C-alpha cells in the first residue's frame, strides 16, 4: 500500500516537492512486536524503523544503536519495546518544498499525502535533491543568459537594493557602454536616466507601458517586481519599443482591425468572464485556475469553497464560459437571499394557482431557465434539510416537478455550487445531507484567501485603481510607501471584495495624487498590537481550536492530534499548558 501511495504522490507532485523526492516506506514494524523481532528486522534496514500500530498510525522511529542498547537492558527478548525508546517523528506535506525541510537532529522526515503516507525523506535523499537543483540552477542560469543576450529589447535586472546585477547587450549598446562590468553593482539611478526601477522594488507595484526619457529619447518601458514566495528580491526593466512614435503607429494599425473584429458578432453576456480576468501571478491562484480549466472539460458538478470575497462566482462564470455549455445561459441563485418558503418555487418554478399571489400561467424556475447552460447555486449550505432532499432528487433523476404541478420535466443543466462554510462539518453534525454532499462534491475547488497570496496584492491594487479611475473619469493615484506597507501587512478578511472597496474609498476620499497612511480607511489606522497581546491572542485562538476539535472527536486525543496535524506528545503538552486536561 505504501509503495502505491508513494508512486501516486510521485506522479502528481511538483519536481521540487517532498512528494516527488520521497522514498517508499518499506522499513515498518508494528508496535506490538517483540524486541527480538525488532532486532531481527533492524539488521536488514538501512534506515531507522518506523513504528506503527494496527490502524497504521505512526508512533515514532527507532535506530539500530538504540536497539542494540535495549537488547542488553530488557529482561526478556519476548517483551514489547518500551515506548520511551521511540524517537518523535516529523511530518511534511507532499506538496511542501524539499528546500524547506528541517531535520532538527532527526534521521528522517515522513511525507504525508491526502491518501495517506507517501514515503520518507532521509538526509541522504535530501542531499541528492539539493545537488540536483544546484546543477539545474547552473543550467537555468546559462539558458537565461542566452535569452537575455539574444533579446532585441533592452533588459536590466536589479537586486532589492536597486543595484544592477545584469544588463544585456541591447541595453548596454543603447547607453553607450561596452561591457557589463561598467554597470554591475552600481545603483540603477546612477546609470539609467529617470528610472523608477528602484521604486518598483520598494513598492512591489508593476509599471507597464510607461514613458521614460533615456539619453534624450522617449522610450516605452515595463518595470516588473521579482517575487520569491512573498518577498521582493529585485525587479526587471525592459525597453519594449524603440520609441513612443513606434507604439503610436502600432496602435493606429491595430485600431481598425479591432473595430472590425468588434462588428463581427455580438458577444455573449458572459464573454467578459474568463480566467484571464483573475488578477494575480501567485502559485495558489495559478493552481486554482489550472484546476478550474480542467473542470470545464465535462459537465460534472463542481463544488467551489472559499471565504467570502474570494471570487467564487467569478470562477463559476469562467468555468461556464470555457465549457461546452457556454452558448447556453448562466443562471445564478443565492440560496441565502431567497426566503425558505419561496426557494422551491424559485428553483423549480410553479403552476398557476400553486399559492396565493402566483402569476397567471405559472412561472419557470431557475433550473428551466438554465436549460442547456449552467446553474450556479451560491451559499448552498443555507438550504433547509427539506430543500436539500428535493434538490438531491432533481440531481439524481434529472427531472423536476413545478410547485403545484403533477407532471415532471427533464432538465439538462450543469450545476456549480458554492459555499463559504465547511460542508464536511455540517455533514458530521447532521445539518447537511451526506448523500447531497457527495452529489455536489464531484469536483471540489478550494479558493485561497487573499492573505495566502499576498504577492498578488500590488497587482490587484494597480488593476482596480486603474479601473476605478477609468470608470469615474479620474486620474489614477499612487500609493505611498507607508500606505502600501500597511496594505501588504493587512490580513484582508473580506478578501478581494474588501480590497476593491478600499481602492474605491481612497480614490474618492484622497485629495492629492498620492495615497498616504492617513488616507486609508479607519481600520488601517489602528496602531500595531503589542507583542504580548499578540501572544495572548494566539494562545487564546489555539486553546479554542483544541477545545473545539476535542469536542468534535468526543475526547479522543489520538484523533484530535491527527486532525490538528500535531504529534500526540505535543497535544498532551498543549493540554497541560492550557489546563484543558
- Portions of the chain given CATH number 1.10.8.60: 450-524
Topology of domain 450-524, CATH: Helicase, Ruva Protein; domain 3 (1.10.8)
Euclidean distance between CA atoms 410 and 368, whole angstroms: 9
What is the Cα–Cα distance from 67 to 43, expressed in whole angstroms? 10
C-alpha cell of residue 77: 527478548
242 pLDDT more than 80: no
Average pLDDT over residues 322-346: 90
Greatest mean pLDDT range, 203-212, 385-394, 482-491: 385-394
Split at pLDDT 50, 70, 90, the class of 25 is low
Mean pLDDT value across residues 470-484 = 86
Look at residue 54 in the predicted model and tell me its pLDDT.
72
- Tell me which long-range contacts 186-190 makes (C-beta under 8 A, separation of at least 24): 187/161, 187/162, 187/163, 188/156, 188/158, 188/162, 188/163, 188/164, 188/237, 189/162
CA angle, residues 478, 481, 483, in degrees to nearest 5: 75
What's the CA gap between 438 and 436, in Å, rounded?
Answer: 5
- The residue among 76 and 449 whose pLDDT is bigger is 449
Spatial neighbors of 120 by CB under 8 A, at least 6 apart, are 22, 23, 25, 47, 50, 108, 109, 110, 111
Residue partners of 323: CB distance under 8 A and separation at least 6? 296, 297, 299, 374, 414
Domain with CATH 3.40.50.300 in the chain: 275-446
- Yes or no: say if 108 and 28 are a contact pair by the CB < 8 Å rule: no
- At 531, the pLDDT band (50, 70, 90 cuts) reads very low
> pLDDT exceeding 90 applies to what percent of the chain?
27
Q: Which residues of 15-51 are buried (b: 16+ CB within 10 A; e: fewer)?
A: ebbbbbbbbbbebbbebeeebeebbeebeebebbbbb
Placement of cell 474605491 in the chain: 504
CB 474 within 8 Å of CB 331: no
Query: What are the counts of helices (DSSP H) followed by strands (DSSP E) for the chain?
Result: 22, 20
- Residue 542: count of CB within 10 angstroms of its CB: 14
Q: Which residues contact 478 (CB under 8 A, 6 or more apart)?
A: 205, 513, 514, 515
DSSP 8-state code for residue 153: S
Tell me whether strands 514-515 and 443-446 are parallel, antiparallel or unpaired: unpaired
Cα–Cα dist 33/29, whole Å: 7
Q: Does residue 116 contact residue 1 with C-beta atoms inside 8 Å?
A: yes
Residue scoring higher pLDDT (64 or 13): 64
Query: pLDDT value at position 50?
Result: 77
Q: What is the mean pLDDT of residues 478-501?
A: 90
* CB contact at 8 A, 386 and 344: no
DSSP code for 161:
T
| Number of neighbours of residue 336 by Cβ within 10 angstroms | 14
Q: List, for residues 49-62, the tens digit of each pLDDT value.
A: 777 777 777 777 77
Q: 87 near 49, Cβ under 8 Å?
A: no
Residue 347 and residue 403: Cα distance in Å, rounded? 10
What are the Cα distances from residue 75, in Å, to 29, 34, 70, 86? 21, 12, 10, 18
Phi and psi angles of residue 10, each rounded to the nearest 5 degrees, phi first: -65, -40
* Structure-model confidence comparison of residues 247 and 333, the more confident one: 333
Which CATH code is given to the segment(s) 275-446?
A: 3.40.50.300
Structurally, at CATH architecture level, domain 531-577 sits in Orthogonal Bundle (1.10)
Residue bearing cell 529619447: 217
Residue 250 pLDDT > 80, yes or no? no
User: How far is 277 from 319, CA to CA, in rounded Å?
Assistant: 12
Contact between residue 523 and residue 555 where contact means Cβ atoms under 8 Å apart: no
pLDDT of residue 352: 77
d(CA 413, CA 399): 10
Residue with the bigger pLDDT between 559 and 301: it is 301
As annotated, the residues of the chain forming the CATH 3.30.450.20 domain(s) are 151-246
Number of Cα atoms under 13 Å in the Cβ half of residue 211: 9
The domain 2-130: what is its CATH number? 3.10.580.10
Is residue 19 a contact partner of residue 9, using CB atoms and an 8 Å limit? yes
141 against 50, higher pLDDT: 50
pLDDT of amino acid 228: 76
Scanning 206-330, the segments in alpha helix (DSSP H) are 244-263, 283-295, 312-322
Q: How far apart are CA 60 and CA 50, in angstroms?
A: 6
CATH 1.10.10 domain residues, the chain: 531-577
HSE at residue 188, side-chain half, CA atoms within 13 A, is 28
> Residue 140 pLDDT more than 70?
no
| Beta strands, E only, 44-142 | 49-52, 58-62, 90-93, 108-113, 116-122
pLDDT of residue 221: 85
Give the residue-averaged pLDDT of 133-140: 66
Amino acid 75: pLDDT: 67
pLDDT per residue as tens digits for the range 200-241: 998 888 888 788 877 656 677 889 898 876 788 899 998 764
CATH architecture of structural domain 151-246: 2-Layer Sandwich (3.30)
pLDDT at 148: 61
How far from the centroid of its chain's Cα atoms is residue 327's Cα?
A: 30
- What are the percentages of helix, strand and coil residues in the chain, rounded to 5? 45, 20, 35
Asked if 427 contacts 437 with a C-beta cutoff of 8 angstroms, the reply is: yes
pLDDT of 260 reads 44
Instruction: Report the candidate in 305, 278, 280 with the shortest Cα–Cα distance to residue 293.
Output: 278
Q: What is the mean pLDDT of the chain?
A: 79
The DSSP line for 9-47 is HHHHS-TTBHHHHPBP---EEETTSBHHHHHHHHHH-SS
Give whole-number Cα distances, 393 to 343, 400, 429, in Å: 15, 8, 22
For residue 476, give the nearest of 465, 464, 487 by alpha carbon. 465
Amino acid at each position: 500500500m505504501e509503495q502505491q501511495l508513494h508512486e501516486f504522490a510521485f506522479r502528481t507532485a511538483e519536481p521540487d516537492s517532498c512528494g516527488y523526492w520521497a522514498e517508499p516506506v518499506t522499513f515498518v514494524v508494528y508496535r506490538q512486536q517483540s524486541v527480538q523481532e525488532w532486532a531481527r528486522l533492524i539488521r536488514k534496514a538501512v534506515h531507522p524503523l518506523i513504528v506503527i500500530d494496527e490502524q497504521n498510525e505512526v508512533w515514532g522511529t527507532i535506530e539500530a544503536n538504540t536497539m542494540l542498547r535495549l537488547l542488553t537492558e530488557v529482561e526478556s527478548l519476548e517483551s514489547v519495546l518500551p515506548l520511551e525508546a521511540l524517537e518523535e517523528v516529523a511530518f511534511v506535506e507532499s506538496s511542501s518544498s524539499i528546500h524547506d525541510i528541517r531535520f532538527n537532529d532527526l534521521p528522517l522526515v515522513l511525507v504525508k499525502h491526502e491518501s495517506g503516507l507517501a514515503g520518507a525523506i532521509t538526509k541522504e535523499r535530501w542531499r541528492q535533491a539539493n545537488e540536483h537543483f544546484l546543477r539545474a540552477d547552473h543550467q537555468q542560469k546559462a539558458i537565461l543568459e542566452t535569452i537575455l543576450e539574444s533579446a532585441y529589447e533592452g533588459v536590466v535586472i536589479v537586486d532589492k537594493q536597486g543595484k544592477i546585477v545584469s544588463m544585456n547587450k541591447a541595453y548596454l549598446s543603447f547607453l553607450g557602454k561596452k561591457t557589463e562590468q561598467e554597470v554591475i553593482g552600481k545603483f540603477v539611478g546612477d546609470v539609467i536616466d529617470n528610472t523608477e526601477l528602484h521604486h518598483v522594488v520598494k513598492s512591489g507595484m508593476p509599471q507597464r507601458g510607461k514613458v521614460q526619457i533615456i539619453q534624450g529619447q522617449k522610450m516605452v518601458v515595463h518595470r516588473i517586481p521579482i517575487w520569491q514566495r512573498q518577498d521582493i528580491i529585485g525587479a526587471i526593466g525592459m525597453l519594449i519599443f524603440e520609441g513612443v512614435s513606434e507604439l503610436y503607429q502600432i496602435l493606429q494599425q491595430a485600431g481598425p482591425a479591432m473595430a472590425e473584429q468588434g462588428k463581427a458578432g455580438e458577444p455573449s453576456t458572459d464573454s467578459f468572464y474568463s480566467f484571464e480576468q483573475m488578477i494575480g501571478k501567485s502559485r495558489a491562484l495559478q493552481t486554482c485556475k489550472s484546476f478550474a480549466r480542467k473542470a470545464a472539460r465535462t459537465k460534472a458538478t463542481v463544488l467551489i469553497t472559499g471565504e467570502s470575497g474570494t471570487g467564487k462566482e467569478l470562477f463559476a462564470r469562467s468555468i461556464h464560459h470555457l465549457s461546452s455549455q457556454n452558448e447556453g445561459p448562466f443562471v445564478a441563485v443565492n440560496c441565502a437571499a431567497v426566503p425558505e418558503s419561496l426557494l422551491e418555487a424559485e428553483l423549480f418554478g410553479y403552476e398557476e394557482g400553486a399559492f396565493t399571489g402566483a402569476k397567471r400561467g405559472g412561472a419557470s424556475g431557475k433550473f428551466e431557465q438554465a436549460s442547456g447552460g449552467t446553474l450556479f447555486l451560491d451559499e448552498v449550505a443555507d438550504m433547509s434539510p427539506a430543500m436539500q432532499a428535493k434538490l438531491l432528487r432533481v440531481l439524481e433523476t434529472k427531472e423536476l416537478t413545478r410547485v403545484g404541478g403533477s407532471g415532471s420535466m427533464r432538465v439538462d443543466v450543469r450545476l456549480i455550487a458554492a459555499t463559504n462554510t465547511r460542508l464536511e462539518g455540517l455533514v458530521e453534525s447532521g445539518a447537511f445531507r451526506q448523500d447531497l454532499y457527495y452529489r455536489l462534491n464531484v469536483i471540489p475547488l478550494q479558493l485561497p484567501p487573499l492573505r495566502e497570496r499576498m504577492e498578488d496584492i500590488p497587482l490587484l491594487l494597480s488593476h482596480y485603481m486603474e479601473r476605478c479611475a477609468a470608470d469615474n473619469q479620474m486620474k489614477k493615484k499612487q500609493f505611498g510607501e507607508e500606505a502600501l506597507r500597511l496594505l501588504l501587512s493587512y490580513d484582508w478578511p473580506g478578501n478581494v471584495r474588501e480590497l476593491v472597496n478600499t481602492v474605491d474609498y481612497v480614490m474618492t476620499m484622497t485629495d492629492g495624487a498620492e495615497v498616504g497612511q492617513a488616507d486609508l480607511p479607519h481600520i488601517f489606522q489602528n496602531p500595531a498590537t503589542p507583542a504580548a497581546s499578540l501572544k495572548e491572542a494566539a494562545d487564546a485562538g489555539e486553546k479554542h481550536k483544541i477545545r473545539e476539535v476535542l469536542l468534535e472527536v468526543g475526547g479522543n486525543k489520538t484523533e484530535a492530534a491527527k486532525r490538528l496535524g500535531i504529534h500526540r506528545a505535543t497535544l498532551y503538552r498543549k493540554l497541560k499548558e492550557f489546563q484543558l486536561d
